[in-house]
Amino acid sequence: MKLTQGFKMAVKSVLSNKLRTILSMLGILIGVATVIALVAMGKASSNEVAKQVSSLGSPNSLSVTILGRGTVTTLSVDEANELGDVSNIAGVAPVTSATGYAKYGKTQVSVTVEGITAAYEEVKDFPVQDGRYIASPDIKNNSKVALIGVATATDLFEDEGEDPSAAVGKKITINGYHFTIVGLLESQGSSLTGSNDEKILIPVTTAQKVFQTSGVSTIHLTVSETSLMDRTVTAVEAVLYEKFRGNENAYRVLNQEEAMETLNSVNETMNRQLIYVAIISLIVGGIGIMNIMLVSVTERTREIGIRKSLGAKKRDILFQFLVEAVCISGLGGALGIGLGYIASFIIGMVMKTETEVPIDTVWLAFVFSALVGVIFGYLPANKAAGLRPVDALRHD
């Protein structure tokens, strides 16, 4: 028997039992669709992680968090600025942060207030869209001036019927102290540490007076050469180690690249586990195909006997039933790919991020579904091919 003839007979058999074929391919379809959807979800999650980490700063940035040792829980601004003497450090921006209450008219909101220096704009790449930035004279004179985030401006001024974009020049109170808004910050969105648009920036010296603090707990750094990042981190840690007299628990130095690698590693582990579940679904689908094909062999025993008595060889019967199994699994895989793409589109809309389905994943899922058909279709195909013509013709 020619291969084309065997293929046509197999396809005809599959199409003649539509309901059984649909039920057989359902497990494969769901498995393939799940694999593609999970990969798309993983890509979307990775993109979101990259976005969140990048919002913390550029790849050439470091963040130092002072946890403290005993009664010393902060560094002074001058001590923080000394980190600028470390080789390869290009910029230092010490920050003190607290939660305050901003009020305009009758509207009051809880907001993150950060005390900063003039270097904050360049180090954090956080410019103003209107007005000016906090300058060195503001730091020296303890000036009560403020930069306001777009979300906080909206919360304060819209309720009072005023335009948030015209915030520059308006006066607000922060914890009862009167401040003049000198700049409206560019929108920066959210990061792993919260919304960058729901904050107010004031001179660090003024913040220390308003919140009764004497130092800073966060220091943002930029490096000149990212290739020397590891060496720079070691040098910064050495300075802090000496300041805190050997207590390594008194500080943390966060490398953006390391943070990205850690988060991606966790993300990949979770995605890998989910894909294992999807593969199990494919295997279950293959078992379903095997069961249906075994039933099909039983139902078509006389047909097999007649074909063998007319000269069909064992390999012809084996080929036909294998093709039937592969057709069922392959068609299920193809439909699963379509369903997977639809699911990935929906996931992108729900997560509000760009999803991506690598073409190699699509091919791998399809080939795996076809292999499932071959592997789980072999047993019933071999059973059909091994039937003796006399026994098959006697079957009722």
> Is 333 found in the same domain as 216?
no
Q: Specify whether the CB–CB gap between 147 and 201 falls below 8 A.
A: yes
Residue for token digits 């020397």? 228
What integer pLDDT is reported at residue 373 of this predicted model?
A: 75
Please say if the pLDDT value at position 178 is more than 90.
Answer: yes
Please choose, from the candidates 10, 8, 27, the residue with its C-alpha nearest in 3D space to the C-alpha of residue 287. 27
Please choose, from the candidates 274, 111, 275, 126, the residue with its C-alpha nearest in 3D space to the C-alpha of residue 207. 111
Query: What pTM value is reported for the model?
Result: 0.61
Does residue 253 fall inside a structural domain? no
Does residue 65 fall inside a structural domain? no
Please say if the pLDDT value at position 391 is more than 70.
Answer: no
What integer pLDDT is reported at residue 112 of this predicted model?
A: 92
Please say if the pLDDT value at position 49 is more than 60.
Answer: yes
Does residue 171 fall inside a structural domain? yes
| 176 backbone dihedrals φ, ψ, rounded to 5° | 90, -10
Residue for token digits 């050495």? 238
Mean pLDDT, the chain, as a whole number?
81
Helix, strand, coil share of the chain (percent; to 5): 60, 20, 20
123-149 pLDDT per residue, tens: 888 899 999 999 999 999 999 999 999
Domain that holds residue 297: 3-52+261-394
Please choose, from the candidates 378, 384, 376, the residue with its C-alpha nearest in 3D space to the C-alpha of residue 27. 376
Domain count for the chain, please give it: 2
> Is 274 found in the same domain as 139?
no
**Measured distance CA(366)–CA(331) in Å, rounded:** 9
- Type of residue at 88: N
Does residue 273 fall inside a structural domain? yes
Please say if the pLDDT value at position 263 is more than 70.
Answer: no
> Is 137 found in the same domain as 233?
yes
> Is 219 found in the same domain as 86?
yes
323-376 pLDDT per residue, tens: 777 777 888 888 888 888 888 888 778 877 777 777 877 888 788 777 877 777
> Is 200 found in the same domain as 227?
yes
**Measured distance CA(184)–CA(205) in Å, rounded:** 20
Other beta carbons within 10 angstroms of residue 248's beta carbon come to 11
Q: What percent of the chain has pLDDT over 90?
A: 28
Please say if the pLDDT value at position 202 is more than 60.
Answer: yes
